[in-house]
Structure 1
Amino acid sequence: MFTKLLIANRGAIACRILRTLRALNVTGVAVWSEADASSLHIREADEAMSLGDGPAAQTYLVSEKIIAAARQSGAQAIHPGYGFLSENAAFAEACEAAGIAFVGPTPEQLRVFGLKHTARALAKKHGVPMLEGTELLANLDEARQAASVVGFPV
């Protein structure tokens, strides 16, 4: 079990993760942009690290800033919450390379399941029951033809 975890997210999801960490007696580190300086997740965290000023694209979505905050805080793991970096295979790999656990799917799982067509192909290969669907379609005519077979809504 980790003793300190950084939450690479904000708002309600960060608060939920912090409550769980408290129940597990794990120190929760929150990150924040200047626009979120008075947010509840900052007040509820055991520690809080600023990612600087700017929109999410310049703060919460910058892998290097998140990993630097984790290193500076001594966090052993990063929980991405949902959205932001939670489905980013490169971020999961960067965490691994930095020696910090990524709380979520492996980079390979993110790649395979992040695209519907690769996830469907894998499920089909393993005999998982699926709803009617198609492989990737090349153009609008193929899509119309498939819709007439699969049915609506598509």
Structure 2
Amino acid sequence: MFEVVLWGSTGLIVAGLLAFWWRRDARERRETELYTRWANATVWNSDPSTKIVVVSRTVEDVASVSDGVVEIDAVVASDPPVVAGWYLLVTGWVDARDRAKRGESIAFGPAEILDSFPPDTPELVDRLSGRGNRPPGLVSRLLGLRGL
């Protein structure tokens, strides 16, 4: 009977560790894929009219998008609905900014919205690049050390 309890508990511990490592690996793969998409949109993009903009607020079909310098109210029609706080990779931003200065209405459709990113993407990119705040690991929390 002792062997059954010993091997059963060992099997449960190993299964629990495997499940934990699998979930962590899946999360890291998702974060790496998001990091790669962000890098392709910002660093490796050769189109000068493409810009990452943040959606400030949405009212029905009209979204207020900003690139940090100019804020434009535009009609945004995309397959996934646009949510405030998300980042959009928009092509033709320079032309849209110029048209908005002249008072014309702006519309971004699925052809202009190349990609979308969740609100925490810049912090994730900073963390994966070695910048920003990193939560301490288990060993550093147990020993009270910083930087591990």
* Structure with the higher fraction of residues in strand conformation: 2
TM-score by length of 1: 0.26
